[in-house]
């Protein structure tokens, strides 16, 4: 009996018909068959030593980025040519990947996050409006603190620098939509992978020092943050205005900053002054800061309503229309780990039998308890070594050594567990229309000896 032929390349098969691809490669019972092993090996360009451990229906990481989040509505006449990343061309920036042109949004490939502290030229960009014109005198830039306070403040940046103790902290800043591309069906917004995060050294003063100088009233429960970035289409409209509860604003690590990595803020990162509210979605860390409005209620500015920066309380059916009453404000970001070396798609010399792996992990308001790494599709795990953090909200740098018995195609999986015991899932959980909180374990493809 002649074995049935796989009539087209597996990459095309998965792009056009994922369900049929699973049937061809894994069979009806979900086991990777001999023909499937051959097909996957041909697709990734090498034998797969741990093929027997591959979960049913798993698209290899080497191919996953080319597969759509949802199948097309109708089969195309011919498979579309793969679309490569668009790299950013912007003064002072390295090879970031452009996710949006207007407003400008660009993420950092994981391999470029290998530094202990993220260089400014490799730090992600997330704008909501246009970049405002640089002020003639940054020292004269004014920040107002008003609302539910006893004394309205209107301080220049020079006065802020002179009046309050200066802080230097190395902390993670992360976009609320980081990991959005992991959701199926696809969620709205820029399709971040893991590169909407970075860990920089920030220089500034505590936000609570400004708030205490203004004297919050007993009615003060929330802040509202405003920046000078012009709206994309409506002159004079507020582009984005989000805030945090007073308890978060009064944390010692919530800062009003003017320098990043020992240099004045660049225009794209909020010059001359911005907020850094670590552990929470980056949208609360207003750039080009000019006002902090202390509120007697939860802030209701642009970006605070319906599903904006909100996640479901009870799980919803993926793709269903949202019930706004079932949503809560997204606060602490979820635990996440990434492998930064070797890079995805990396090639190692023939005969390599041990891979030294490096990466980063962070957990919003929490800390990272543990990072585990696997090279056999999760059949076994190796506990990584965590380096001490430099201060709270720094990311955890980790290393591990993994054994590779043969040459071929491998996937390095990394997953972190936070201080509450919550572990990264295998796939993004708690689907929501805006795609917040996608933190599936990170997969990196490497080839040995090919």
Residues pairing with 264 in the sheet: 259
Dig out the tokens for 375 from the structure.
């090279």
Which one-letter DSSP state was computed for residue 308? T
**Domain-terminating residue out of 329, 350, 382:** 329
- Composition of the chain by helix, strand, coil, percent to 5: 15, 30, 55
How crowded is the C-beta side of 296, counted as CA atoms within 13 Å? 6
Domain co-membership, 258 together with 357: no
Residues pairing with 240 in the sheet: none
In a domain, 110, yes or no: yes
Domain co-membership, 313 together with 436: no
**Domain-terminating residue out of 22, 47, 64:** 64
- Longest CA–CA span in the chain (Å) reads 88
Q: Which residues contact 267 (CB under 8 A, 6 or more apart)?
A: 131, 132, 134
In a domain, 4, yes or no: no
Closest CA to 172 of 226, 266, 108, 91: 108
Domain co-membership, 281 together with 389: no
Strand-pair category, 289-295 with 142-147:
parallel
Domain co-membership, 205 together with 255: yes
CA distances from 290 to 153, 196, 238, 326, 346 (A): 11, 24, 12, 33, 45
What is the spatial distance between Cα 257 and Cα 164, in angstroms, rounded to a whole number? 12
In a domain, 37, yes or no: yes
pLDDT given for residue 38 in this prediction: 63
For Cα atoms 390, 422, 372, give the angle at the middle one, nearest 5 degrees.
65
pLDDT given for residue 19 in this prediction: 59
Three-class SS of residue 137? Answer: coil
Domain co-membership, 375 together with 435: yes
pLDDT given for residue 65 in this prediction: 56
* pTM of full prediction above 0.75: yes
Residues pairing with 397 in the sheet: 360
Domain co-membership, 149 together with 171: yes
Domain co-membership, 109 together with 193: yes
Domain co-membership, 40 together with 111: no
pLDDT given for residue 313 in this prediction: 98
In a domain, 5, yes or no: no
Domain co-membership, 219 together with 196: yes
Task: Find the CATH number of the domain harbouring 284.
Answer: 3.90.420.10
pLDDT given for residue 158 in this prediction: 97
Domain co-membership, 125 together with 153: yes
Three-class SS of residue 215? Answer: coil
Domain around 35: 10-64
Neighbours of 109 (CB within 10 A): 19
Tokens 């020992």 — which residue?
A: 262
In a domain, 87, yes or no: no
pLDDT given for residue 221 in this prediction: 98
pLDDT given for residue 76 in this prediction: 41
Digitized pLDDT (tens) for each residue of the chain, 450 residues in all: 444 444 444 455 555 665 556 555 555 444 455 555 666 777 777 899 998 998 877 888 887 754 333 333 333 444 454 567 899 999 999 999 999 999 999 999 999 999 999 999 999 999 999 999 988 788 999 999 999 999 999 999 999 999 999 999 999 999 999 999 999 999 999 999 999 999 999 999 999 999 999 999 999 999 999 999 999 999 999 999 999 999 999 999 999 999 999 999 999 999 999 999 999 999 999 999 999 999 999 999 999 999 999 999 999 999 999 999 999 999 999 999 999 999 999 999 999 999 999 999 999 999 999 999 999 999 999 999 999 999 999 999 999 999 999 999 999 999 999 999 999 999 999 999 999 999 999 999 999 997
Closest CA to 213 of 143, 274, 279: 143
pLDDT given for residue 62 in this prediction: 83
Task: Find the CATH number of the domain harbouring 398.
Answer: 2.60.40.650
Dig out the tokens for 447 from the structure.
């080839």
Dig out the tokens for 4 from the structure.
């049935």
What is the spatial distance between Cα 125 and Cα 122, in angstroms, rounded to a whole number? 9
In a domain, 140, yes or no: yes
In a domain, 81, yes or no: no
Which one-letter DSSP state was computed for residue 210? H
Which one-letter DSSP state was computed for residue 329? E
Domain co-membership, 41 together with 115: no
Domain co-membership, 43 together with 105: no
In a domain, 79, yes or no: no
Quickly list H helices, 293-365. Answer: none
Burial class (CB in 10 A: 0-12, 13-18, 19+), 340: buried
Closest CA to 229 of 108, 104, 98: 104
Domains in the chain: how many in total? 3
**Domain-terminating residue out of 270, 296, 329:** 329
Tokens 């050594």 — which residue?
A: 401
């Amino acid at each position: 009996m002649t074995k049935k032929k796989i009539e087209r390349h597996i990459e095309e098969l998965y792009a056009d018909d994922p369900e049929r691809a699973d049937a061809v490669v894994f069979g009806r019972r979900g086991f990777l068959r001999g023909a499937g092993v051959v097909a996957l090996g041909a697709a990734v360009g090498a034998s797969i030593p741990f093929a027997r451990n591959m979960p049913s229906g798993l698209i290899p990481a080497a191919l996953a980025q080319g597969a759509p989040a949802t199948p097309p509505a109708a089969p195309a006449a011919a498979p579309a040519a793969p679309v490569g990343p668009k790299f950013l061309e912007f003064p002072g920036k390295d090879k970031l990947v452009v996710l949006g042109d207007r407003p400008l949004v660009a993420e950092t490939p994981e391999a470029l996050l290998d530094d202990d502290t993220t260089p400014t030229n490799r730090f992600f960009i997330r704008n909501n409006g246009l970049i405002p014109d640089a002020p003639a005198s940054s020292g004269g830039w004014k920040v107002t603190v008003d609302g539910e306070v006893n004394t309205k403040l209107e301080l220049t940046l020079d006065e802020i620098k002179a009046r309050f103790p200066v802080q230097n902290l190395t902390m993670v800043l992360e976009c609320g939509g980081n990991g959005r591309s992991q959701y199926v069906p696809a969620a709205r917004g820029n399709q971040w992978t893991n590169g909407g995060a970075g860990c920089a050294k920030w220089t500034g003063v505590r936000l609570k020092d400004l708030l205490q100088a203004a004297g919050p009233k007993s009615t003060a429960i929330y802040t509202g943050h405003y920046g000078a970035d012009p709206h994309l289409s409506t002159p004079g409209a507020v582009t984005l205005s989000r805030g945090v509860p007073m308890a978060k604003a009064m944390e010692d690590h919530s800062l009003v900053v003017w320098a990043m990595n020992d240099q004045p803020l660049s225009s794209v990162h909020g010059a001359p002054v911005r907020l850094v509210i670590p552990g929470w979605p980056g949208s609360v860390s207003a750039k080009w800061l000019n006002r902090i409005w202390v509120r007697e209620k939860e802030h209701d500015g642009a970006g605070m309503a319906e599903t904006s920066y909100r996640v479901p309380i009870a799980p919803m059916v993926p793709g269903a229309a949202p019930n706004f009453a079932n949503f809560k404000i997204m606060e602490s970001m979820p635990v996440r780990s990434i492998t930064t070396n070797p890079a995805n798609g990396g090639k190692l010399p023939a005969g390599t039998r041990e891979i030294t792996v490096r990466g980063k992990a962070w957990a919003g308001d929490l800390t990272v308890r543990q990072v585990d790494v696997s090279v056999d599709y999760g059949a076994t795990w190796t506990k990584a070594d965590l380096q001490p953090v430099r201060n709270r909200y720094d990311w955890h740098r980790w290393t591990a050594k993994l054994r590779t018995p043969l040459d071929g195609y491998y996937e390095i999986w990394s997953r972190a567990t936070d201080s509450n015991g919550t572990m990264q899932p295998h796939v993004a959980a708690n689907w929501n229309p805006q795609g917040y909180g996608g933190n599936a374990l990170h997969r990196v493809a490497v080839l040995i000896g090919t």
